[in-house]
Amino acid sequence: MLLAVAVVAVAVTLTRGVSWRDQVPVTRAILSAEDSLTLVVNTCGGEPAVDLLREQNETVEVAVVSTRTFGGSGGEDCQDTIEVKLQAPLGDRNLVDGATGDDLAVDNG
């Protein structure tokens, strides 16, 4: 019985995929205006959204949540973008990925 359940679970994963929504790392950050960022994440049609935006004097911390899919027709990740409007220009502040805690390099648009 356990083997049958495992076989069905694998078949569903391979044909339909399994999706979940969670924070995802930012793979690229582009300064599109002095107070706007374009963030790139490795999801494909995952409808990314800002999960955290914390602006402080020295840093801006941002986390993005998106839907990821394993298996099925949507299983191969590509890239989504999301625009983030800051309350003040980024200036010399460090940009931190809230999902990983890593500092992000910011490209000028």
Give yes or no for residue 75 having a pLDDT over 60.
no
* CA pair distance 17, 14, nearest whole angstrom: 6
Residues 6 or more apart whose CB falls under 8 angstroms from that of 3 comprise none
Segment 54-67 shows an average pLDDT of 97
CB 51 within 8 A of CB 23: yes
Instruction: Please tell me the predicted confidence (pLDDT) of residue 74.
Output: 45
CB 19 within 8 A of CB 63: no
> Model pTM greater than 0.85?
no
The answer to whether the Cα torsion of 76, 16, 81, 53 is positive or negative is: negative
Which residue in the block uniquely carries the two structure tokens 């890593």?
102
Give yes or no for residue 10 having a pLDDT over 90.
no
Structure tokens of 73?
């027709």
The CA-to-CA distance between both ends of the chain, in Å, stands at 57
* CA pair distance 86, 89, nearest whole angstrom: 7
- pLDDT tens digit sequence for 27-60: 999 999 999 999 999 988 899 999 999 999 999 9
* CA pair distance 22, 81, nearest whole angstrom: 16
